[in-house]
Amino acid sequence: MKTKNAIFLAFILGIVFISLLAFNFNDKKETAFESWNADDKAMNAKVDSLLSVMTLDEKIGQTVLLTSTRDVTGPSVNENYEKLIKEGKVGNIFNAYEASFTRNLQKMAVENTRLGIPLLFGYDVIHGHKTIFPISLGESASFDLQAIENAARIAAVEASAEGLHWTFAPMVDVARDPRWGRVSEGSGEDVYYSCEVAKARVKGFQGEDLKATNTILACAKHYAAYGAAQAGRDYHTVDVSDRELRTTYLPPFKATVDAGVASFMTSFNELNGVPATGNKYLLKDILRDEWGFKGFVVTDYQSINEMVPHGIVKDEEEAVKLAIDAGVDMDLQGEVYSKHLKGLIENGTVPVEKLDTAVRRILELKYALGLFEDPYRYSDEDRQKKYVMSEGHLEAARDMARKSMVLLKNENQTLPLSKNKKIALIGPLSNTERDMIGSWSGAGKHKDDPVTVLEGFVEMIGAENVIHAEGTKLSRYMKRTDAPITSGFSEAIAAAKKADVIVAAMGELQNMSGEASCRTDLDLPGNQKELLKELKKLNKPIVLVLLSGRPLTLEWEDNNMDAILEAWFPGTMGGHAIADIVFGDAVPSGKLPLTFPRSLGQVPLYYNMKNTGRPIKPNVKINTYKSMYLDNPNTPLYPFGYGLSYTTFEYKDLKLSNDQITNEKGIKVSVDVTNTGNYDGEEVVQLYIKDIVGSVTRPVKELKGFQKVLIRKGETKTIAFNLSIEDLKFYDIDMNFVAEKGDFKVFVGGDSEAKLTSGFSYN
């Protein structure tokens, strides 16, 4: 009997050992380093051989990207897309997902077309695929690059299992005007930080090996300067100097090229008179010739066609010529490459080599993904079941949501709340699944999956301790002049009367930010503020939990609320994460990636403005003839980089290793940060510099480094940064990117108003 048992045990151990080996082997296979390489000989041979036999129609098909009807993210759809796939007239599909669905479409291409070239499946996998993370601006507020990369990695794992090869992300548009709804999709106002986030996201999506079945192509968008739309109105005119373009708007795009991004998407806007989609300066001179980008360029939704209303061409045929000439490789849903390219090539207007180049770039990436080996390798039901919304992914989303929240105010340590108090949870965003996940929530389920604030609170403190009332409602198109609906106020006030503390979940509906969602008024929309005023009369502590895709103007709230927590649109696990922070299971550590103005009249307002010739004199009561407003200070309500914790941090002992920097030798900047409060907490230690005199004027301050560190209560950590000559470079008077000799100031602190200062020079 004993021997039998021993044999059985050995057998079981053997199986465990073999499956462990297999598990490791699979994991290894999926993460091994093998970067996409445009000089790969086998790839070139494959693409050459295809190009040599492809007809003009087959080539044009490869430049066409059409939406499936599964999801629609723009103004038009071609219901015949399946027929077109079978005819080889479309080589790429977006808005399709799930293994069985993508596999079926792939089959149509592979089995019906003459050459069987596999389809490329793209989608807006922006902040998660089905497990939804906080909106990109929220993720950015974490200042945790590893967590940001990990979020993109998880999105890629889920998306790729469902058959996707390509995401239209990261969006790397620097944006400084909160009226623009798409600030929610980016990483804020700062150039240095946006570059870091852009790199992290590309790395997360693409991993180290495009051939691995759990990585997808990334796409840097929207190229370029889309975030500089005049008056913060989407798709609006952009007119910026070359200096501003290169200093502010281009660096994050360049950072993605350096990180190996596989594709670029052109933007809808014109740039200095030429729409980006037909802009040779952007697409050829800079992207290809200066930066050496090797991937392909796709348009935004019908942005070739839109060059007609832009008024740069008389018809779509001319638009096609302009686009292919400028360097656009793929037409997203415009159906104008398919309509006009053939004629333009046949009549000699467009050289066929231009089309060949575009097709080559697209086929190269299909090859790099391994699609020619096995076109179905990504559509994998087993992996889909195993990974999509797995426990680990949901936990990571919850953690990211906690990290993203920014504590804007916490008078008398109102937060965290005790779990033994009765809470009145009020507000139009207190129990709405859809708003938890924000715009561009991809394939994320809008019903059931997202955890609302109410659900999070009930699970945390029990239903008996939560009295819930919406109080008021919001609608996307509401105007200031709309008659306020106050019918829910009495229920909310009655609920609040029974409670010890009021928590108001208010802000914007998810569709009030994102694409085509600009606003001219950034106060709390609707009559939410009026409801808060009524609640305030009860003299109970009020915590405002904000859900928003952008900075709001919150002066009244700042004066009247006891605590304010910016939760953005926190994702699938949002309600749990809010409860974790509000009831103290987690300590807030997010910082603002975008300035919160006092009033809209200050916009655009960002921390690294210029000094002007007439700066305000500090500590002078009445400034005259200065660059200022009569009715508001120049300062923001909450500056870039700002965010409180439940604990406090003290900065001291700023030290520089040297007071001179040289080309060969940088400077080490160090500072002691002490946790002086009662909680362990994470702090984002920030380093800024100011170039005092330049051949062109320089900003008052520029972020050059940050570190997010955990400091336990009572503990002091020495945080060190290295500054090198590279950090001093800018576009000089002759547009050379150089460091100029002179004096520099250093600032270190917990936000962009960092008070500890020192200095060095470069001689």
What positions carry a catalytic annotation?
300
The closest of 433, 506, 522, 520 to 474, measured between CA atoms, is 506
User: CA–CA separation, 705 vs 235, rounded Å?
Assistant: 32
- Mapped onto helix, strand or coil, the DSSP state of residue 16 is helix
Task: Please enumerate in sequence order all residues whose Cβ is within 8 A of that of 44, keeping only pairs 6 or more positions apart, or say none.
Answer: none
User: CA–CA separation, 30 vs 210, rounded Å?
Assistant: 9
Q: Name which position in 264, 296, 301, 706 contacts ligand NOJ (CB under 6 A).
A: 301
Residues in 175-194 at the binding interface with ligand NOJ, rule: CB under 6 A? none
- CA 254 vs CA 133, 218, 282, 417: distances in Å: 26, 14, 12, 45
User: CA–CA separation, 122 vs 15, rounded Å?
Assistant: 39
Which C-beta is closer to ligand NOJ: that of 333 or that of 686? 333
Residues in 445-474 at the binding interface with ligand NOJ, rule: CB under 6 A? none
Q: Name which position in 30, 149, 300, 399 contacts ligand NOJ (CB under 6 A).
A: 300
Which C-beta is closer to ligand NOJ: that of 123 or that of 143? 123
Please list, residue by residue across 415-432, b when 16 or more beta carbons sit within 10 angstroms of its beta carbon and e when fewer do. Answer: bbbeeeeebbbbbbbbbb
User: CA–CA separation, 14 vs 620, rounded Å?
Assistant: 80
Residues in 68-97 at the binding interface with ligand NOJ, rule: CB under 6 A? 73-74
Which C-beta is closer to ligand NOJ: that of 74 or that of 694? 74
Instruction: Give me 601's structure tokens.
Output: 């009249």
Q: Say if residues 190 and 174 touch (Cβ distance below 8 Å).
A: yes
124 binds ligand NOJ (CB under 6 A): yes
User: CA–CA separation, 262 vs 361, rounded Å?
Assistant: 10
CB of residue 407 vs ligand NOJ: minimum separation in angstroms? 31
Instruction: Describe the strand order of the beta sheet including 296-298 as a list of residue ranges.
Output: 219-223, 263-266, 296-298
CB of residue 644 vs ligand NOJ: minimum separation in angstroms? 33
User: CA–CA separation, 85 vs 91, rounded Å?
Assistant: 7
Which C-beta is closer to ligand NOJ: that of 66 or that of 654? 66
Please list, residue by residue across 28-41, b when 16 or more beta carbons sit within 10 angstroms of its beta carbon and e when fewer do. Answer: eebeeeeebeeebe
Residues in 311-340 at the binding interface with ligand NOJ, rule: CB under 6 A? none
CB of residue 415 vs ligand NOJ: minimum separation in angstroms? 36
Which C-beta is closer to ligand NOJ: that of 455 or that of 515? 515
CB of residue 301 vs ligand NOJ: minimum separation in angstroms? 4
Task: Please enumerate in sequence order all residues whose Cβ is within 8 A of that of 83, keeping only pairs 6 or more positions apart, or say none.
Answer: none
Which C-beta is closer to ligand NOJ: that of 160 or that of 589? 160
Residues in 214-233 at the binding interface with ligand NOJ, rule: CB under 6 A? 221
- Amino acid letter, residue 146: Q
Which C-beta is closer to ligand NOJ: that of 77 or that of 628? 77
The closest of 441, 519, 453, 400 to 141, measured between CA atoms, is 400
CB of residue 71 vs ligand NOJ: minimum separation in angstroms? 9
Instruction: Give me 127's structure tokens.
Output: 């902040």
User: CA–CA separation, 130 vs 169, rounded Å?
Assistant: 15
CB of residue 122 vs ligand NOJ: minimum separation in angstroms? 8
User: CA–CA separation, 9 vs 2, rounded Å?
Assistant: 10
Which C-beta is closer to ligand NOJ: that of 247 or that of 303? 303
Q: Say if residues 187 and 241 touch (Cβ distance below 8 Å).
A: no
Q: How big is the site for ligand NOJ, counted in residues (CB under 6 A)?
A: 8
With residues binned 3-state (H G I as helix, E B as strand, rest as coil), the percentages for the chain, rounded to 5, are 35, 20, 45
- Mapped onto helix, strand or coil, the DSSP state of residue 741 is coil
User: CA–CA separation, 171 vs 198, rounded Å?
Assistant: 8
CB of residue 334 vs ligand NOJ: minimum separation in angstroms? 12
CB of residue 247 vs ligand NOJ: minimum separation in angstroms? 24
User: CA–CA separation, 275 vs 104, rounded Å?
Assistant: 37
CB of residue 634 vs ligand NOJ: minimum separation in angstroms? 33
542-547 and 730-731 beta bridge pairing = unpaired
- Amino acid letter, residue 416: P
Which C-beta is closer to ligand NOJ: that of 202 or that of 469? 202
- Mapped onto helix, strand or coil, the DSSP state of residue 653 is strand
Q: Name which position in 139, 190, 331, 515 contacts ligand NOJ (CB under 6 A).
A: 515
Task: Please enumerate in sequence order all residues whose Cβ is within 8 A of that of 52, keeping only pairs 6 or more positions apart, or say none.
Answer: none
Which C-beta is closer to ligand NOJ: that of 74 or that of 666? 74
Which C-beta is closer to ligand NOJ: that of 73 or that of 272? 73
CB of residue 472 vs ligand NOJ: minimum separation in angstroms? 31
CB of residue 234 vs ligand NOJ: minimum separation in angstroms? 9
User: CA–CA separation, 169 vs 261, rounded Å?
Assistant: 10
Token match 């469902």: residue? 162
The footprint of ligand NOJ (CB under 6 A) covers 73-74, 124, 168, 221, 300-301, 515
